[in-house]
């Protein structure tokens, strides 16, 4: 469907707020009801204005060139001097309803802003920032509700000299997107408070950190449970107490079973001391009884778990050695024992399996292929993804998308985080404390931390077929407090994570809490 002409009123909406522009762009001859030249192939190499598109601002910085994700060409924004430019396309004659813009993007980073937007669609403008990815292409989405039969698709850069983006293969189709899980692991909170931890709003008012995070938009809390921890924290009783606070604020609850007395991760899956001498048959019963005990107690007090993890970062299995991946039939039996216990308490509780190494496609496939072939039952897949350890954002998206499609299960990020500074508040060395450890394009600053959380969320949001559930920020409340360190058996141990929490060294909620308001 074509519109014979564009009025000034139709031209004005594509203006980008803040751009100092002296002239309106040349009007497009027609406006289509479908996106034209979304792959930037029409017009070929070096087109100053790609066919079907209009440009605005420093138009010399917007052009098509060779090197498409598919096909021969892509849209690029670049200039040797600072620039502000918008490449846009006005669509009219749209049927009202929900739409989703999908695009493949790359960016060298460093811009003041670089985003895709859908605007003038009848409601609030919707934007998605371009993640920093100088190598592999990343798919992002922007949803919008059209209520006035028209919409403008926009690619915008507010950039410094030499900054660049590539965009290709844009499509606009009916659909929606968003995240149902915008969560944080707050397992350290009770012990922090007991050791004098204070939490403040961004403006400095002391308050309940659960309420502060909830008011920022957090809707899901993750709590780990250990069997008999040395310090008594993260045991059944403490999880029950925290669950009451979480549910009282209207949030959902994920219970993360480690099946250990202390940290379980790919490097260690130590049996609880009480189970140390048990063989496989008894361990199956231990897993069932412990899982059922914790979850039934939560249900009895009116705080039923909405999701559970049967194990934590179990790349190598759990309850070593009986539950090692060297013995898949036994590992499968242990995992199914936990699954069965969770479902016996609450059939609606989502039972997830959780691996680390969120950018490891081959390793994730190997693990879940084995799980499926051995009859392991699960409802969802959780991955830890830390960009300084687990591969690029492109690797992460590739792995996440593959897991969702290959196993036809919803996927989520069980853990991610990023530093807002590198120095330590306590005497303990931080896990990430050197610039060379950082992800390129994401500085150790409040802005870098905020961008990281939002960009990870955008990648989960873009998982096809609506299978991206959401993200948990790991240990958002683990601020530096004497006595609340890494080792539950050592009261003097320090915290190597306070520079990745969502509360700063002044105890105030950080700007990155804004990620909870991701769609």
Contact (Cβ atoms closer than 8 angstroms) between residue 238 and residue 190: yes
Name the active-site residue from 86, 415, 425, 498.
415
Mark whether 415 is an active-site residue. yes
Q: Which residues contact 265 (CB under 8 A, 6 or more apart)?
A: 312, 313, 356
Contact (Cβ atoms closer than 8 angstroms) between residue 169 and residue 103: yes
Kindly write down the DSSP assignment for every residue of 242-302, as one continuous string. Answer: HHHHHHHTT-EEEEEE--SSS--BTTB-BPPGGGTT--HHHHHHHHHHHHHHHHHHHHHTT
Q: How far is CA 18 from the centre of its chain?
A: 29
- For 439, phi then psi, to 5°, come to -80, 130
Contact (Cβ atoms closer than 8 angstroms) between residue 79 and residue 148: no
Q: How far is CA 365 from the centre of its chain?
A: 20
d(CA 1, CA 30): 10
Name the active-site residue from 313, 425, 475, 498.
313
Q: Which residues contact 124 (CB under 8 A, 6 or more apart)?
A: none
Mark whether 475 is an active-site residue. no
Sign of the alpha-carbon torsion through 305, 310, 315, 316 = positive
Closest CA to 324 of 376, 269, 258: 269
Q: How far is CA 175 from CA 122, 145, 181, 411, in A?
A: 16, 9, 19, 19
Active site residues: 313, 415
């Amino acid at each position: 469907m074509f519109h014979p002409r564009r009025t000034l009123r139709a031209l004005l909406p594509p203006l980008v707020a803040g751009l100092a522009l002296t002239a309106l762009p040349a009007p497009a001859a027609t406006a289509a009801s479908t996106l034209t030249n979304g792959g930037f192939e029409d017009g070929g190499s070096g087109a100053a204005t790609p066919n079907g598109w209009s440009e605005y601002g420093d138009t010399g910085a917007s052009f098509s060139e060779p090197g498409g994700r598919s096909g021969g060409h892509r849209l690029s924004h670049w200039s040797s001097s600072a620039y502000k430019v918008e490449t846009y396309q006005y669509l009219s004659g749209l049927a009202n309803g929900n739409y989703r813009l999908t695009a493949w993007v790359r960016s060298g980073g460093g811009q003041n802003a670089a985003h895709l937007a859908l605007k003038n669609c009848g409601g609030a403008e919707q934007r998605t920032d371009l993640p920093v990815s100088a190598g592999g292409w990343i798919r992002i989405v922007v949803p919008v509700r059209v209520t006035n039969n028209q919409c403008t698709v926009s690619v915008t850069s507010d950039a410094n000299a030499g900054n660049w983006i590539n965009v290709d293969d844009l499509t606009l189709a009916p659909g929606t997107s968003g995240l149902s899980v915008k969560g944080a692991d707050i397992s350290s909170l009770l012990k922090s408070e007991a050791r004098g931890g204070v939490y403040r709003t961004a403006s400095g008012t002391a308050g309940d950190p659960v309420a502060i995070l909830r008011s920022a938009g957090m809707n899901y809390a993750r709590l780990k449970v250990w069997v008999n921890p040395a310090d008594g924290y993260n045991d059944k009783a403490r999880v029950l107490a925290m669950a009451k606070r979480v549910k009282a604020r209207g949030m959902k609850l994920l219970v993360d079973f480690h099946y250990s007395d202390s940290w379980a991760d790919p490097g260690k899956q130590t049996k609880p001391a009480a189970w140390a001498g048990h063989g496989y048959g008894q361990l199956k019963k231990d897993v069932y009884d412990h899982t059922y005990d914790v979850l039934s107690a939560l249900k009895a007090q009116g705080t039923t778990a909405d999701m559970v993890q049967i194990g934590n970062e179990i790349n190598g299995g759990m309850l070593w050695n009986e539950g090692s991946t060297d013995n898949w039939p036994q590992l499968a039996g242990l995992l199914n024992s936990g699954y069965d216990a969770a479902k016996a308490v609450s059939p609606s509780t989502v039972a997830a399996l959780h691996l680390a190494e969120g950018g490891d496609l081959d390793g994730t496939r190997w693990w879940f292929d084995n799980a499926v072939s051995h009859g392991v039952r699960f409802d969802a897949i959780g991955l830890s993804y830390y960009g300084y350890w687990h591969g690029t954002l492109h690797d992460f998206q590739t792995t996440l998308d593959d897991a969702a499609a290959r196993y036809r299960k919803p996927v989520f990020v069980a853990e991610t985080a990023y530093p807002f500074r590198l120095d330590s508040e306590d005497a303990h060395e931080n896990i990430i404390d050197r610039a060379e450890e950082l992800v390129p394009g994401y500085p150790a600053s409040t802005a870098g931390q905020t961008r990281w959380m939002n960009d990870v969320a955008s990648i989960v949001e873009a998982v096809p077929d609506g299978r991206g559930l959401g993200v948990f920020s790991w240990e958002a409340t683990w601020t530096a407090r004497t006595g609340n360190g890494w080792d539950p058996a050592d009261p003097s141990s320090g915290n190597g994570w306070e520079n990745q929490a969502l509360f700063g060294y002044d105890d105030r909620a950080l700007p990155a809490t804004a990620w909870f308001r991701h769609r």
